Amino acid sequence: MVAEGGTTRIAGLAESGPSRLRFPRFQGGTPEAVLVNTAGGIACGDRFAVSVELGAGAGLVLTTAAAEKVCRSDGPVSTIGSRLDLGPGARLAWLPQETILYDRARLARRFEADLAPDAGLIVCEILVFGRAARGERVEEGHVSDVWRIARAGRLVYADALSLDGPVAALLARPAIGGGARALATLIDLSPGAEGRLEEARALLDAAGAVEAGASAWNGHLAVRMLARDADALRRLAARFLAGYRGEALPRVWQA
């Protein structure tokens, strides 16, 4: 994506396999891009990769058409790799809908970004363990989730989650999940984000049954959410994002 005359436009687009990118709103305001998995889910051993590059001054909101479903695997690990590169003054809101892990799913996910000194990035990722409508729990499985975010080539945020084997039993431990069946991580790496800590905490005051907290350091702000009820966590994440960003979420979130 590049910015010309105050407008962001597509400089190049490449698609392969079941991954498609659609732009339902590209007239006025920040353009929205919707990532579509035409396969309807991720099966054992599938590999997905997304790469986004924003030039100087470009802006984009990226989401997904629906929740991503990671199906049961008989052994192979599916992988999702995301790579973002933001030029000077670029702004990106990375707001996919939740990723739902089925029982015995096996997933390795890696999120990487490199930002120019004055670029801004907001990320929200939600993981749901089991299909609530089926009363499913992820008794066994594997999930690893690695984050590496750099600014001007210098690492400023690193995180990693790894659950392997008896996932439900691990999440039941007080020091890990306290019985949670859904979790969310929201990171704001926009200029001035660290100074918005009290604002973020005020937006979390009505968290209800969701355990949520915010912290800020090293020039960015981080919010964590844990809940037994995935729907309650999604509602809080949506409410927080709308209030924090000061604009409505992409329409697909409201479907």
pLDDT at 96: 97
Distance CA 72, CA 103 (A): 6
Stretch 40-63: mean pLDDT, rounded?
A: 94
**Lookup: tokens for 53:** 């590059």
pTM: 0.94
**Beta strand extents in 44-119 (DSSP E only):** 47-54, 59-64, 68-70, 78-86, 91-94, 99-101, 106-115
pLDDT digits (tens, 9 = 90+) for 106-126: 999 999 999 999 999 999 999
Question: Does pLDDT of 77 surpass 70?
Answer: yes
* Residue for token pair 């949506």: 238
pLDDT at 166: 97
- By C-alpha distance, which of 200, 201, 207, 202 is closest to 234? 207
Tell me what the pLDDT averaged over the chain comes to: 93
Three-class secondary structure of residue 202 per DSSP: helix
Distance CA 186, CA 164 (A): 23
- By C-alpha distance, which of 249, 231, 1 is closest to 131? 231
pLDDT at 134: 84
pLDDT at 10: 84
**Lookup: tokens for 67:** 């929740």
pLDDT at 30: 84
Question: Does pLDDT of 195 surpass 90?
Answer: yes
pLDDT at 12: 86
Strand ranges of the sheet holding 154-165, from the earlier edge strand across to the other edge: 47-54, 78-86, 106-115, 141-151, 154-165
pLDDT at 27: 59
pLDDT digits (tens, 9 = 90+) for 10-45: 888 888 999 999 988 665 678 999 999 999 899 989
Q: 255 falls in which pLDDT band (50, 70, 90)? A: low
Question: Does pLDDT of 217 surpass 90?
Answer: yes
Q: Is the dihedral of CA 156, 68, 126, 200 positive or negative?
A: positive
